[in-house]
Structure 1
Amino acid sequence: MKKTDLTILGGGWAGLLCALLSRNKNPDITINVFEKDSYEERGGLLRSEVESGFTFDIGGPHILFSRNRIILEKIVSILGENVRQHERKAIVRYKGQNVPYPFENGLYTLKPEERVILGSDLIKAMIKSAGNPEWTPKTFEDWIFGYFGGSIARDYLMPYNRKIWKEEPSNMDADWVYSPGRLPFPEVDEIVRSIAGLPSIGYKEQATFYYPVKGGIQALYDSLLEKVTKNDIDVIFGTEIRSCKKEHNSWLINGNFRSSSVISTLPLRTINRVFDLSDEAAASVSKLTYNKDIVVGVALKVPTPDYSIMYVPQSDVPFHRLTWMSSLIPVDSRGQSNLIAETTVSQNDSLDNRNIVNETISGLIKLGIIKSESDVIFSKQWVNELAYPIYNNGHENFRYNALSYLKNMGIKSVGRWGSWHYWNTDKVYEAVENLVNMQ
């Protein structure tokens, strides 16, 4: 029976990073990675497809930015020469108008009367929170109203977050919005400029971002995979982990592989299928919730607009965000473009009675992006079962119980799903690096 020094469970972004960074730290150990998906379906949420010359990120858009410049440089370096810097051009669709993102910095595009209403509520909320630094919001809704004021909360943030999370913000914990790098907080000077009707830039760490020149975001995953395999790390695709048990000071995996140590990037909610959990740990993982993400790719007979991303809070359009892929990777044919639109559904919701593609095209018409279905060249749908971990009430206790139990067993767990955190690629890289450095 083959035995390795280190086995990584899960071969997505987090799993491959664990393998490569562990190799860099320990050049002489043997490492392998098990991944459930086949090689043809590799990448997890970092998957892309090219069809008829149009590139689609089928796991949703993943532009590369970070407050941590060192981490960002490390991620970008994985792509080598296959990378380009872009200027952020994102908008919020607000009452039929395109407002620059972030919304609070884009107020300058609105009428003076509306700027006063939205801006005064925002300033009052900022003054109140600054004057009471000990105040801690109990729910996500508390945080939205407490930091952005009632007007922006009611007209934008509450409806938008209901759409993406399929949950009332009052039923969600607030602790995640305090995570460094997760949700930036507006700068007072820039907000004052915006209310005064002067152009303003917010979330400056996102003002520029990086993205592959070709191949879509899949190029990032594939470049990392190439580095992993070149470092004598065995990545085994198409192998689902069914069991992992401690026997004789080593781990027995699927009954026929042995490893001295194990790092898991498996979704916490599913670990009861793999590890022998206590009743408390099993109960905790069952309470972790998530949303699916339905990504619809649409190729169009219209030119690419002057923005890349649109956030859509209005309830009569199914998708919460659309991304013009042709702004990231231009198409060859003039006057043509392509986009992806994301619609979330709750984990237990069935799609049997819905046609998300038709709903998406109707939404594009309603927003004035296309005039009719005749503007559509083709469309395609992809379903991402695990897309957004939800910070439901009690989330932190549930994940703590699960992670503590794994830790006591000798298993470290990391990644968006291995930590059950709404993390971007940079936060996952940072978490993996910290874990490997502590080993």
Structure 2
Amino acid sequence: MKIGILGGGLAGLSLGYFLNQRGYDFLILEKNPETGGLLKSVQIEGFTFDVGGSHIIFSRDREILNFMASLLGDNVVKNRRNTKILYKGRYVKYPFENGLADLPKQDNFECLYYFVQNLIAKEKGLLKPPRNMKDWFYYTFGKGIAEKYLIPYNEKIWKYPLDKMSTVWVERIPNPPIEDVIKSSLGISTEGYTHQLYFYYPKFGGIQSLARALERPIKDKIVTNFEAKSIKKENGKWIISNGKCEFEFDRVISTIPIPELIKSLDDVPEEIIEAVNNLNFNSLITVGIGVDRSKLNDFSWLYIPDKDILPHRVSFPSNYSPHVAPSGKSSILAEVTYREGDEISRIKDDEIAGITVENLHKLGIMDKKDVVLTTVHRFKYAYVIYDLDYRNNLEAIFKYLNEIGIESIGRFGSWEYANMDAVIKMVKDYVG
């Protein structure tokens, strides 16, 4: 039996890797010149930038974490997270509720006061269960933390009304213990999101090294520069064509974004096309910046909720590994989300780079006169948006795909906000 795998991103490569271990016959079809998807790293003048967004290797699942680290062999370093939130010119410990003592005193008081008030109200049964993401922030953290950080930051990254977003994603965020929030307010050190406190990263080559490691044993089973424009079933076989050549398979597993898969199918019912058109997602711009300074700071990355600043997150890859920047220089990766057709999507790349450099200079993160290069990259599919109709739309789409016999997995194949470890686990469990 020959299996056709659509897409050579992390899900497609992982699928090929595990199927290969079990002796299956398969072929991966990837539309780009190289595999990796969002795990894309570029080398420019001695700098390495992860242009598909800042990626680190971590997991609650020890088996998956060990697998990811083992793929890299000796090409791996371990780091302790040092992440901050830039709030009113202050570097506040991340997560926000673990850094309250870093806030101005009045803000610190309001965050603690409303957090405790919220707990009391919940105990008395005075609060209704949250119906959407915005409600959930108030319900879980109280007015102070919600309005000072969580709501502005999430409005900035999602570019979608929070009261029209589901609680599906945020419910995975651990509820902060009251003792940790009180300690945080008093300046007693606490740690949140401890599964991410230590993380791994490739010494050389950026995050694409992970994709390369998955690709290595299956390289002869990958076809690049092949965009599936037509997928149809004839005489019990799946025929996948790019308009110039075609491949025949007994089974098709898709890891490409659902909208791209549906576009390549014939005779799709109108209600399914409508459901696909109603799926929401964000696109991503990354700005890689090479800086002529040996050390800018000790931070892993920064979250920036300020709406007047273009990037929502700024990471410092040369703090993960010194080998991703030339000796005596540092690197920055800034990330900006957008929706197709919005104001940001219409700004040209060189202007995006210029605004980002000015923003980071204004914030004191770097001096613009030290910038030696910038590189801008865009990815259409970056973040799945869990709107309130998300589940109903997906149920209809997967019911249809199941009926015609196409399987769909991965971050955009299952339409989930899945980190790298979750994608690998999803695929590993799927293969069995």
Q: Which TM bucket (shorter chain)?
A: over 0.9
Q: Which one of 65, 69, 84 corresponds to residue 58 of structure 2?
A: 65
Does structure 2 conserve the Cα–Cα contact (< 8 Å) formed by 1:61 and 1:323? yes
How is 1:70-219 mapped onto 2 (pairs within 5 angstroms)? 70-129=63-122, 136-179=129-172, 183-219=173-209
**Following TM superposition, by how much is the alpha carbon of 1:58 offset from its aligned partner in structure 2, in angstroms?**
0.4
- Of the structure 1 ranges 234-243 and 269-278, higher mean CA displacement relative to structure 2 is found in 269-278
- Of the structure 1 ranges 361-370 and 216-225, higher mean CA displacement relative to structure 2 is found in 361-370
Q: Which one of 287, 302, 310 corresponds to residue 302 of structure 2?
A: 310
Q: Could you say which residue in structure 2 is the equivalent of 1:333?
A: 327
Q: Could you say which residue in structure 1 is the equivalent of 2:315?
A: 323
Deviations 1:87-121 (A, max 9, x none): 00100001110001111011132344432211222
Query: Matched residues in 2 for 1:58 and 1:145: separation?
Result: 34
Q: Could you say which residue in structure 1 is the equivalent of 2:405?
A: 410
**Following TM superposition, by how much is the alpha carbon of 1:122 offset from its aligned partner in structure 2, in angstroms?**
2.1
- TM-score under structure 2 length normalisation: 0.93
Q: Which one of 356, 360, 374 corresponds to residue 352 of structure 2?
A: 356
Q: Could you say which residue in structure 2 is the equivalent of 1:35?
A: 30
Query: Matched residues in 1 for 2:133 and 2:180: separation?
Result: 24
Q: Which amino acid aligns with 1:256?
A: E
Contiguous gaps of at least 5 residues in structure 2: none
Contiguous gaps of at least 5 residues in structure 1: none
Does structure 2 conserve the Cα–Cα contact (< 8 Å) formed by 1:55 and 1:329? no
Q: Could you say which residue in structure 2 is the equivalent of 1:401?
A: 396
Does structure 1 conserve the Cα–Cα contact (< 8 Å) formed by 2:236 and 2:250? yes
Does structure 1 conserve the Cα–Cα contact (< 8 Å) formed by 2:17 and 2:217? yes
Q: Which one of 422, 428, 431 corresponds to residue 427 of structure 1?
A: 422
The answer to whether structure 1 residue 238 and structure 2 residue 241 are counterparts is no
SS at match of 2:130: coil
**Following TM superposition, by how much is the alpha carbon of 1:131 offset from its aligned partner in structure 2, in angstroms?**
6.5
The answer to whether structure 1 residue 221 and structure 2 residue 217 are counterparts is no
SS at match of 1:43: coil
Query: Matched residues in 1 for 2:127 and 2:7: separation?
Result: 40
Query: Matched residues in 1 for 2:372 and 2:4: separation?
Result: 45
Q: Could you say which residue in structure 2 is the equivalent of 1:387?
A: 382
- Of the structure 1 ranges 341-350 and 138-147, higher mean CA displacement relative to structure 2 is found in 341-350
**Following TM superposition, by how much is the alpha carbon of 1:333 offset from its aligned partner in structure 2, in angstroms?**
2.8
1:126–1:88 CA distance, 2 compared to 1 (3 A): farther
SS at match of 1:37: coil
The answer to whether structure 1 residue 23 and structure 2 residue 20 are counterparts is yes
Does structure 1 conserve the Cα–Cα contact (< 8 Å) formed by 2:313 and 2:335? yes
Matched residue count: 422
Query: Matched residues in 1 for 2:45 and 2:36: separation?
Result: 21
Q: Which amino acid aligns with 1:207?
A: L
Q: Could you say which residue in structure 2 is the equivalent of 1:369?
A: 365
After superposition, the CA RMSD in angstroms is 1.9
Q: Which amino acid aligns with 2:4?
A: T
Query: Matched residues in 2 for 1:248 and 1:379: separation?
Result: 52
The answer to whether structure 1 residue 436 and structure 2 residue 426 are counterparts is no
The answer to whether structure 1 residue 294 and structure 2 residue 297 are counterparts is no
Query: Matched residues in 1 for 2:233 and 2:430: separation?
Result: 21
Does structure 2 conserve the Cα–Cα contact (< 8 Å) formed by 1:47 and 1:217? yes
SS at match of 2:169: helix
Query: Matched residues in 2 for 1:16 and 1:185: separation?
Result: 34
**Following TM superposition, by how much is the alpha carbon of 1:75 offset from its aligned partner in structure 2, in angstroms?**
1.7
Q: Which amino acid aligns with 1:241?
A: A
1:130–1:381 CA distance, 2 compared to 1 (3 A): farther
- TM-score under structure 1 length normalisation: 0.91
Q: Which amino acid aligns with 2:31?
A: K
Query: Matched residues in 2 for 1:253 and 1:111: separation?
Result: 60
Does structure 2 conserve the Cα–Cα contact (< 8 Å) formed by 1:357 and 1:379? yes
Query: Matched residues in 2 for 1:212 and 1:390: separation?
Result: 29
Query: Matched residues in 2 for 1:20 and 1:415: separation?
Result: 14
Does structure 2 conserve the Cα–Cα contact (< 8 Å) formed by 1:88 and 1:206? yes
SS at match of 1:78: helix
- Of the structure 1 ranges 270-279 and 72-81, higher mean CA displacement relative to structure 2 is found in 270-279
The answer to whether structure 1 residue 11 and structure 2 residue 2 are counterparts is no
- Of the structure 1 ranges 72-81 and 107-116, higher mean CA displacement relative to structure 2 is found in 107-116
**Following TM superposition, by how much is the alpha carbon of 1:130 offset from its aligned partner in structure 2, in angstroms?**
6.4
| Residue identity (%) | 36
SS at match of 1:175: coil
- Of the structure 1 ranges 401-410 and 197-206, higher mean CA displacement relative to structure 2 is found in 401-410
Deviations 1:310-365 (A, max 9, x none): 0000011000000011111223433x311010111112236444521111011102
Does structure 1 conserve the Cα–Cα contact (< 8 Å) formed by 2:90 and 2:102? no
- Of the structure 1 ranges 80-89 and 401-410, higher mean CA displacement relative to structure 2 is found in 401-410
Query: Matched residues in 2 for 1:290 and 1:242: separation?
Result: 22
SS at match of 1:263: strand
Query: Matched residues in 2 for 1:186 and 1:215: separation?
Result: 36
Query: Matched residues in 1 for 2:105 and 2:188: separation?
Result: 11
Query: Matched residues in 2 for 1:129 and 1:10: separation?
Result: 46
SS at match of 2:101: helix
Does structure 2 conserve the Cα–Cα contact (< 8 Å) formed by 1:289 and 1:347? no
- Of the structure 1 ranges 378-387 and 135-144, higher mean CA displacement relative to structure 2 is found in 135-144
